[in-house]
Amino acid sequence: MSVTQHETPHGGMPGWAWSVVVAAGLVAWWVVYHQLPALSEWIVSLLPVARDTHTGEALAFFFYDVPKVMMLLTLIVFAMGVVRSFFSPEKTRALLSGKREGVGNVMAAGLGVLTPFCSCSAVPLFIGFVSAGIPLGVTFSFLIAAPMVNEVALILLVGLVGWPVALVYLGFGLAIAIVAGWVIGRLHVEGWLQDWVRDIHSGATTPGAVESDDLSMTDRYRLGLEAVREIFSKVWIWIIVGIAMGALIHGYVPQDLMVRIMGSGTWWSVPAAVLMGVPMYTNAAGVIPIVEALLGKGAALGTVLAFMMSVIALSMPEMIILRQVLKLRLIAVFIGVVASGILAVGFLFNALF
């Protein structure tokens, strides 16, 4: 964890010193991470509750997951901050312009994972893409993949649920982004953009781009730290709430009830999970502890994946932001297509496993 504590003024350390500090930080991280189970048992043993009660179970879950999630996040967000400094929306746009649908959808989904993206710049990014002549469907592939298949979601899945589920999520998240974008492209709904966006699209004005400057490795490390600081200032509350919910489910919800409601034998549980997910707004960090607890109690994987994808990919605040560039009809299409994809994944999984 020591990596994050190093606050150096601009130009304070040479590049090699950064690399040494990063390497030392990784070792320290590894050592601390492996002590976490013992640490959580120790904390719970200090509390005046018996370990084998509902409360004890819930507390042990909470005190184990909070530091674990925080540590995993620190590591991966730092690493992705560095990796993402090699990508930018401008570069992604250059890579995607001139690509046909199909290939373009696949590339857009992949780049959506790697390109720095914040839902607050969804609108300028959308316009930047569309004005460069990138097909609408390809733009949507990017916009669906960027928030849904991100490093926070993947690493938390690896850490809390295991890597097979994480791989499944990665694969099917990308598949939904590719297919949903392609379907939206096929529908030819360019007329359902807001009028001013269409004017830009038709080539009336093409915004220029800033020249990108070369970054040193030190700059990239600093961007990694910046990403860590940003994620902690923004998402820690979701993590705490998510883990607390997970802990309650883990400690109190009876297993047979969960299997009855969210088990694979209940066909309506997938659509119900998707419907429940839409108005819920949290990010991956908040929802995955809940996913962990649900799976632990015997909920079906397809149902839980559908719930998680719906929470992350279809959020009300993002729809409100996109309303500035899309007419309501197109937003409805967007929700409909993505929700259908999520349903398909949910049913498929429940049928297969």
Partner 1 sequence: MKDVKVYGPGCKRCEKTEEMVKEAAAKLGIEVSVEKVTDPRAIAMAGVMSTPGVSVDGKLVHTGGLPDSGKLEGWLSA
The yes or no reply on residue 88 touching partner 1 (CB under 8 A) is yes
User: 46 or 210: whose CB is closer to partner 1?
Assistant: 210
Rounded to a whole number of angstroms, the minimum distance from the CB of residue 214 to partner 1 is 12
The yes or no reply on residue 25 touching partner 1 (CB under 8 A) is no
The yes or no reply on residue 196 touching partner 1 (CB under 8 A) is yes
Segment 323 to 342, residues that bind partner 1, using CB under 8 A: 324-325
The yes or no reply on residue 214 touching partner 1 (CB under 8 A) is no
Rounded to a whole number of angstroms, the minimum distance from the CB of residue 330 to partner 1 is 16
The yes or no reply on residue 118 touching partner 1 (CB under 8 A) is yes
Residue in 219, 272, 280, 347 binding partner 1, rule: CB under 8 A: 219
User: 194 or 255: whose CB is closer to partner 1?
Assistant: 194
| Closest to 232 in 3D by CA, of 33, 18, 77, 27 | 77
Tell me which stretch binds partner 1 (CB under 8 A): 87-95, 105-113, 173-181, 277-285: 87-95
- The tokens of 231 are what? 């994620």
Segment 223 to 242, residues that bind partner 1, using CB under 8 A: 223, 226, 230, 233
User: 11 or 254: whose CB is closer to partner 1?
Assistant: 11
The site for partner 1, by CB under 8 A, has a size of 33
Residue in 116, 271, 296, 298 binding partner 1, rule: CB under 8 A: 116
Interface residues with partner 1 (CB under 8 A) are 10-11, 88-90, 93, 116-118, 120-121, 123-125, 127-129, 131, 196, 200, 205, 207-210, 213, 219, 223, 226, 230, 233, 324-325
